[in-house]
A and B are shown apart, each in its own frame.
Chain A
Amino acid sequence: MADKRRVVITGAGVVSPFGAGVDTLVNALLENRSGISTHTLLKEFPLMNSHVAGIVPEIDFSFIPRHYRRSMTKMSLFAMLCVTEALKTAGHAKAPAGTAVYIGSTVSSMQAWLDFSEKFLNKRLDLVKSTAVFQVMNHSPLANLQQALDIRGPGLGASNACATGLMNIGLAYQAIRQGTLESALAGGTDEYHPMMTGCFAIMNAASSQYNDAPARASRPFDKDRGGIVCSEGCGIVYLETLDSAKKRSANILAEITGFAANTETKSISHPSSDSIIECMSMALDSAGVTPREIDLVNAHATSTVDGDIEEAISIEKVFGKDPPVNSLKGHLGHTMAASGSMELIAVIHMMLGGKAAGTLNLDAVDPACAGIRHFTGTVECAVNTFVKNSFALGGTNTSMVLRRYGA
């Protein structure tokens, strides 16, 4: 295939529980730090058995003019920072004409809806500000950042719960590869609300055994894991054709060579290895690579009992025991719509830096997850090609294959 339709990532931006910036994230991961802390509000709910969350440290967003900021909630503010960083690292002062934006969230701002609902239920519409609708509409982050940054290309964000970030990068990749677009900004963003932990708590899928030791609460593949730790943040990449990147001598972070998505229909809440195996296999096929060519699998693994087992079984079935496997949710918790894109960005930089962070809190591997090659701590690694998984409630599975450019 001609260079023109090969797709590369040349920019990236992150806001994570460690703060703003890709470097901040990658350094924290390589130092094996946890972004999880106690969230005291959670203790006030009698049936809320999980008291931990990954919250983005306070960031001063006053640099965004009030005219734009007034219709933004945290998920839009995070996205603004990330798009700005992604464009800057891509070498653009402004998104090139025609750049599409694929950005979504799991749900719109729960806090904004609560604020509106409280007034509505009290029959006090007179207290509702004019910008409420712009804060709660489903594509609020997408619309807000396109307005604020004057990005006039199509806004196309998908929303697939926790697979949103990787799904959007995959959709952007496909559109550029097929020639519909020349460039795109893509990823996911989400803001934390205790209701999200509540949603998982009532499904018995929220971490509850480590409330007194938050840094240990998220423990993918570990025998003592007990569920998800909900977090927040944003991850956005800038994609363009290889031809375009070469013409302007852009710094190429990685090349996307394959992507696949499918849907689990046996259950709206539980993944199955059949579906995950199919998704990863389709991604490998679309990239034209064999499982033996994969140097690292970055798992979705959220620290839930069932989900981690199904993914471990699937990885073993497709890749065997050879490729190292890590999940970054031990450090980050589950950043929801941002998880796929944020973790993808982190692994790209680990590939470029030659060091990878293993799974944090993986003290004793669950025997049911033991068929794959786990690693912990920070290790030297030579990764040229890796697979990124991202799955979601509702049945969405996504897998992407990336490689070091020039490898």
Chain B
Amino acid sequence: MKASEGIETSGRKPSRPPVVAPGHSPGSVTDQITAVVLDRAPRWWWVAFGISFALVMLLLRALTKLLFEGTGIWGLNIPVGWGFAIINFVWWIGIGHAGTLISAILLLARQEWRTSINRFAEAMTLFAVACAGIFPLIHVGRPWLAYWLLPYPNTMDLWPQFRSPLVWDVFAVSTYATVSLLFWYVGLIPDMATLRDRAEGKFAKVAYGFLSMGWRGSATHWHNYETAYLLLAGLATPLVVSVHTVVSFDFAVGQLPGWHATIFPPYFVAGAIFAGFAMVITLAIPLRAAFGLKDFITTRHLQNMGKILLATGLIVAYGYLVEIFMAWYSGNWYEQFMILNRIQGPYQKQWMALLLCNVLAPQLLWFRRVRSSPVLLFMVAMFVNVGMWLERFVIVVTSLHRDFLPSSWGMYSGTFWDWATFIGTIGLFLALLFLFIRFLPMISIFEMKTIVPKQVPNTAEEAPE
């Protein structure tokens, strides 16, 4: 391994902050990351977990009410038959995309900086997909019959309609959830072996030992492991693109103005990555400060994520522009009405807020100072989180509320239970995330070790005697 690799100190290029702060060795990386899990929980953790857990209770309350009384407790009505459930589903599944993108696509692109953030981005993916999965299930009306969507031999002799995007969605989302879980678990095995070897308590030793399945870190283990990991990355890359494409088909295959557009698949995928990176930034900035992990999640990571946010934000802005252009260019009366109604109609405020959040706010990221400032970057990311939710609101609601016939026009707004369910899933997401950072290493220990020798030559561990 060349000592100079990865160190950028040459005078010609402007020096970039390192991926790992100098002075770390495999041992010190292990100690610092496992300490988060093996030390006692800080008091703020209990407070934060407590609040999220209270929100999980709110979710359960809202779901119980729904099971007893049905979807009438929501604001849905004809013509707006798709409301919060679909908005939240698309929002959450979009957030879930950053994890796999960081783990798989950036791995294949040999972006070493991904190593510090891939583990918790993957966890974030899983929890976001878990939150997303709730909505289609409860939205079918009789959630206890949701398994009818799966093809299985049954006494009714019925099968799903495979030409329907809603059935594609079942396959896409369940495959995505399964593969994300496998990818995440496989990534955790060597780190759980590390925790097994370092845990003090009997229960922790047995639990981590059980989960690490007897991992020994032999050369044979590592070789098969690396092969599997790379293949999984290669499989997850087209998968991540396919999932939001299929989600966009839910809209694009319909004939409704505002949904029926060929730009939808790429525009949805870019939007998903945009939303996902915004959420990764939202989580990474407080976590690195709270757990003192600034050595591993450095300014370099923030800058790079800021750049990705800007790039995907521009693609999303292009998507908005093409929608407007195509409405004009199509010469279609209903398409043109839909766009004008979006801009000037009763949901004008949401549309303007969407442009502010998703198009204007990310433009700040052109400035290096904004990308390097955790506070400003966090604020931009929060704008995007809100903006992407509004985008789905605008797509779902403004397209539906003005039906083809003025006699069937209507308005839509979420009820208390719509909001309770949505906020409840945010609580579920955060509660799962807090449990994760408490019990599993939130930064991949073994992958950090592979980049440490390159970043920091001649440490005590690596130096020959």
- Asked if A pairs with B, the answer is no
Interface residues, chain B, CB within 8 Å of chain A? none
